[in-house]
Structure 1
Amino acid sequence: MKEFLDNDFLLQTDTAKHLFHDYAEDLPIIDYHCHISPKEIYEDKRFESLGDVWFGGKQSDGSFFGDHYKWRIMRSDGMPEELITGREDELSRFKGFAKALTKAIGNPMYHWCNLELKKYFGITEPLNEANAEEIWNKCNDLLKNDPDMSVRGLIRKSNVAYVGTTDDPIDSLIWHEKIAEDKSIDFLVRPSFRPDKAINITKEGFAEYIGQLARAVGKESLDSVTDVIDALTDRVEFFANHGCVASDHGLDYIPFRMMSMEECDKAFKKAMKGERITIEEAEGYQTALLLALGRAYHRHGIAMELHYSCLRNVNERMYRLEGPDTGFDMISQNTCGGNIAALMSELDKLGELPKTIIFSLNPADNEQIGTILGCFQSSEIPGKIQHGPAWWFNDTKQGMEEQMKSLASLGLLGNFIGMLTDSRSFLSYTRHDYFRRIMCNLIGNLVENGEYPADDEALKMIVSGISFYNAKRYFGIG
């Protein structure tokens, strides 16, 4: 029986161990999509407790911010909500989480949490209810007294070369500017363009947001779809000038419905007045914006990430109580593969299709995505169209394996740009280690099973590429 979380954790064969330890383990991390705060990086925030860095919770302004993966674990064990997202009794919350985590056999959270304790705090015994207070005190002592346990220290300890944050088009990017000017920050931090609020014409707060976008480009109002497109493309250029190499679109599904600009304007003006618009009108407006943004991304060399098939905030009572991104989302089923292909084809007609990364939260879409890729690759860059790594509810051991097996079966696994954290926690970089182990084990099994030759030079290229070099090349990181 193997020891839990030993040096060869998840590595089942000698080939897997060789590939991981010699070609993957020590490579830097490119975390090209996450939700951490550039302000906290610049200010080199220190954490008050392990609860602060691990859980988050209710902030001083009444909003909630934290790791909803952990919140869902606690809810599944019947913990009261005031203890999960409240901040009044941090030790009781930690003990409750430790109790729940013990039951999380087969859940990646069990691995992630213990990997984080091992890497950052030197704790090798698995967390449980009995040792929770001792571990709590040891971690808090390190967070308080170890100079390397600040935000920047944790990033350096994780060997991170690049952090791609997620930023709204109206953001001033002031914290990115301060980071760029600070020569003591020896890793790259760049903004990523996320225009969801301008695209989601049927969502609450749309008209108010368009007013904010207008002010961001120095106008009193945006009165047409052309005005919105001009404002967004202006902000794309602003972001590009700040080193942006990726955009992100988190949509319920990817629409494609060609409409005249006059029809789009009609829908836009109705929405600005608070009037109800049809699904067809919404899709026409959204398609016009996605096409215009795709062209802008191509001009500036910015990759377009498409995230879809998440049904958000399904528990209305808890959404009203705590707001979005607090752990009440689920996998959705959408049949929008044809729409994605149509959107890409329209951009491709005039050579304006940007580098594109496609993520579906529904693993049933893996094969469909794999076949879309092969329709739009080009000589601009190897793997121009990517199947994004197993995302959110799919970044389990099984989910990662299935995504990579699908990609390997239908495309070129060797050009895959690898893992991201998609996280709000500065301890989540262990997910890259987790991914690399799973990837090396999968490839090692293919070799040991005689399905790929033991060609060490080729295997080194594949493993090191997926771990680091493919993303470095894909995003043009220095």
Structure 2
Amino acid sequence: MAENIFIKEDFLLHTEFAKRLYHDYVKDLPIIDYHNHLSPQMIAEDHQFENISQVWLYGDHYKWRAMRTLGISEEFITGNATDRSKFIKWAETVPFTMRNPLYHWTHLELKRYFGIDALLGKENAEEIYDHCSKQLTQSSHSTKGLLSQMKVEVVCTTDDPLDSLDYHLEEQNNPNLKLLPAFRPDKAYAVQNTTAYNHYLNQLEEVSGIQIKTFDDLKEVLKSRISYFHSRGGRLADHGLNYLPYFEEEGFNVDHMFKKVRGGKELSLLEIEQFKASVLKFLCKQYHKNGWVQQFHLGALRDNNSRMLNLLGPDTGFDSIGDFKQAASLSKFLNHLDSTDQLSKTVIYNLNPADNEVIAAMVGNFNDGSVKGKVQFGSAWWFLDQKDGMEKQINSLSNIGLLSCFIGMLTDSRSFLSFPRHEYFRRILCNLFGQDVTLGELPRDEKWIGKLASDICYYNAKSYFPFK
């Protein structure tokens, strides 16, 4: 096997101060992963994967996009090729991913989970496939084993209001891992497709036992599902939006809109946004009432390729960065909640790097001294969770706000092998501090800066989220 000569002990750490900061202060801290898309069932059942393709390639649209770009047939990506064949095609792709974060992530994951200190490529694909697949049959590489290896303390999954949360309930007494739900009600206001929306409301009726004929009925059902999530340990909500819409309630009749949709009629584009804003206002006030943290992921332009959407469905690698206007409506929405002191702890993530300073400045408007870092500029997300994107997010937050209050990294991943991304973030953070100290732009106060780094990587999140 070709030797991995770049991911060594001091990978990404370019100064002696950075090396001490990482190795002595943050390397061994536990992980609080407060937003991901892992399967709660797989965790509760301590699922054992049959081979590395199942844990590494299934659902990973980052890898899928790279393989398609290289000209690899869909048969080896989401098609009917064998798992071994899919892995070999991915291995052939890896050398071509240099300077894409996939190159770093791939080798970090092989090294951390499987002890492989080699560069993956066509020539060693079969050998690595067999080596990793054999380890995956062992208890150390079950889902819980993989989480334990990375010292994962908390996992917050992403869950629809319809979900039973039975698997979260099964894990409530697990002393080694908190498996907690996060409320993701995007479908509860997705009125752009009347047929799909009514089908979803019918499902909500079944789950809640409440008929949904009016907008007040919808609010009652959502309130009951929030209470249900709360009883299962849920303390977070999350929303994926182009932008956070805001309208004054006096300008439209939301109940009329709701009855219109319930009757099978389409809403105008303006009505769709007004309806979303009304539901979101209600939900956010409920989150505050329950003491939850709310998260907003803003700026994804989804399902760009209609042909591939029809073939493969959503979340298959055809989303990208959008250029939506963010500041004005975001300001009005947050101010609406804050004006009656109903603004919860809030984390805002942007997908367009052009909005870094916009978000970093916006969160400072609503930090009122009641809570440390009450409104957060969330970690670099999706297309931005790579070295350059993380550094830019960290620098924007440092320049405009307080990096010391930041709640740090998350995986936002469907893969059980994604947790070295926390290591990646920690190394990048320590290297930035180290560069500043080495250049004489910060004092050589290792103990204090070590505390700040430790807080950002673990302790701030531990105190910020109201986990029980």
1:358-397 alignment, distance < 5 Å: 358-397=348-387
Give the secondary structure class of the aligned counterpart of 1:271. Answer: helix
Give the alignment of 1:125-140 within 5 angstroms: 125-140=118-133
Instruction: Return the match for 2:102 from 104, 109, 112.
Output: 109
Does residue 1:432 correspond to 2:425, yes or no?
A: no
Cα distance in structure 2, aligned partners of 1:87 and 1:441: 43
In the alignment, residue 140 of structure 2 is paired with which amino acid? Answer: D
Q: Say whether 1:169 aligns with 2:161.
A: yes
1:92 aligned to 85, 92, 95, which one?
85
What are the equivalent positions in structure 2 for 1:47-58 lying under 5 Å apart?
47-56=49-58
Aligned to 2:66: 73
Q: What's the secondary structure of 1:102's corresponding residue?
A: helix
Runs of 5+ in structure 1 lacking a partner? 57-65
- After TM superposition, the structure 1 = structure 2 runs for residues 307-318 of structure 1, keeping only pairs within 5 Å, are 307-318=297-308
| Contact 2:243 2:330 survives alignment (8 Å) | no
For the Cα contact (< 8 Å) 2:233–2:467, is it kept in 1?
no
- SS of the aligned residue for 2:376 comes to strand
Which residue pairs with 2:199 in the alignment? 208
Quick check: 1:258–1:287 contact (8 Å CA) kept in 2?
A: no
Q: Which amino acid is 1:273 matched to?
A: G
| More off after superposition, 160-169 vs 86-95 | 86-95
Moved more, 30-39 or 171-180: 171-180
**Within the alignment, does 1:143 sit opposite 2:133 as a pair?**
no
In structure 1, which of residues 16, 24, 34 is the aligned counterpart of residue 18 of structure 2? 16
1:164-190 per-position Cα deviation (integer Å, ceiling 9, x unaligned)? 000001111111111114x4x511010
Query: Counterpart of 1:96 in 2: which secondary structure?
Result: helix
CA shift for structure 1 position 271: 2.0
Instruction: Give the superposition deviation at 1:199.
Output: 1.7
The answer on whether the counterparts of 1:225 and 1:261 sit within 8 Å (CA) in structure 2 is no
What are structure 2's unaligned runs of at least 5 residues? none
Pairwise CA distance, 1:110: 0.6
More off after superposition, 278-287 vs 243-252: 278-287
CA distance in 2, matches of 1:206, 1:218: 18
What secondary structure sits across from 1:452 in the alignment? coil
- Quick one: distance in 2 between partners of 1:455 and 1:306? 36
Runs of 4+ in 1 over 6 A off after TM superposition: none
DSSP-derived class of the 1:358 partner: strand
How far apart, in 2, do the equivalents of 1:49 and 1:203 lie? 39
Letter in 1 for 2:238: D
Aligned length: 464
Q: Which amino acid aligns with 2:40?
A: P
Cα distance change of structure 1 residues 203 and 403 upon mapping to structure 2, 3 Å threshold: farther
- Whole-Å separation in 1 of the counterparts to 2:341 and 2:303: 38
What is the RMSD computed on CA atoms of the aligned residues? 1.4
2:213 touches 2:262 (CA, 8 Å); kept in 1?
no
Moved more, 224-233 or 360-369: 224-233
Deviation at 1:328? 0.6
Alignment partner, residue 244 of structure 1? 234
Which is worse superposed, 314-323 or 283-292? Answer: 283-292
Partners in 1 of 2:73 and 2:410 — Cα distance? Answer: 31
Identity %: 44
**Which residue among 390, 407, 417 is the counterpart of 2:407?**
417
Asked if 1:289 corresponds to 2:279, the answer is yes
Find out whether 1:272 has 2:262 as its counterpart.
yes
Report the equivalent of 1:453.
443
- TM-score when scaled to structure 2? 0.97
**Is the deviation greater in 4-13 or in 287-296?**
287-296
- Residue type at the aligned position of 2:21: L
Do the aligned residues in 2 keep the contact of 1:202 with 1:271 (CA within 8 Å)? no
Secondary structure, counterpart of 2:294 in structure 1: strand
2:149 maps to amino acid:
K
Q: What is the deviation of 1:252?
A: 2.0
C-alpha contact (below 8 Å) 2:183/2:236 kept by paired residues: yes
Deviation at 1:73, TM superposition (A): 1.3
Tell me how far 1:88 sits from its aligned partner. Answer: 3.2
Q: Which amino acid aligns with 2:117?
A: T
CA apart distance, 1:272: 2.2
Counterpart CA distance in 2 for 1:166 and 1:474 is 19
Question: Is contact 2:12-2:431 (8 Å) kept?
Answer: yes
1:62 counterpart residue number: none
What is the Cα deviation at residue 472 of structure 1?
0.5
- Structure 1 residues 258 and 279: CA distance shift in structure 2, 3 A: farther
Cα distance between partner residues in 2 of 1:272 and 1:438:
50
In the alignment, the residues of structure 1 paired with residue 251 and residue 181 of structure 2 have an alpha-carbon distance, to the nearest angstrom, of: 30
- Give the deviation of 1:207 after TM superposition: 1.2
Q: Aligned residue for 1:43? A: 45
Q: Give 2:209's match in structure 1, choosing from 218, 224, 231.
A: 218
d(CA) in 2 for partners of 1:368 and 1:276?
34
Select which of 167, 171, 184 maps to 1:179.
171
Superposition deviation, residue 86 in structure 1: 2.5
Residue 258 of structure 1: CA displacement? 1.9
Distance 1:54 1:290 in 2: 35
Which AA in structure 2 matches 1:373?
V
Q: What does the per-residue CA deviation read over 1:275-305, in whole Å, with 9 as the maximum and x for residues that have no partner?
A: 2212221222111111111111111111110
User: Take 1:213 and 1:262, find their aligned partners in 2: how far apart are those partners?
Assistant: 25
Aligned match of 1:63? none
Counterparts in 2 of 1:403-414, with a 5 A limit? 403-414=393-404
The alignment partner of 1:131 has SS state of helix
Aligned counterpart, 1:60: none
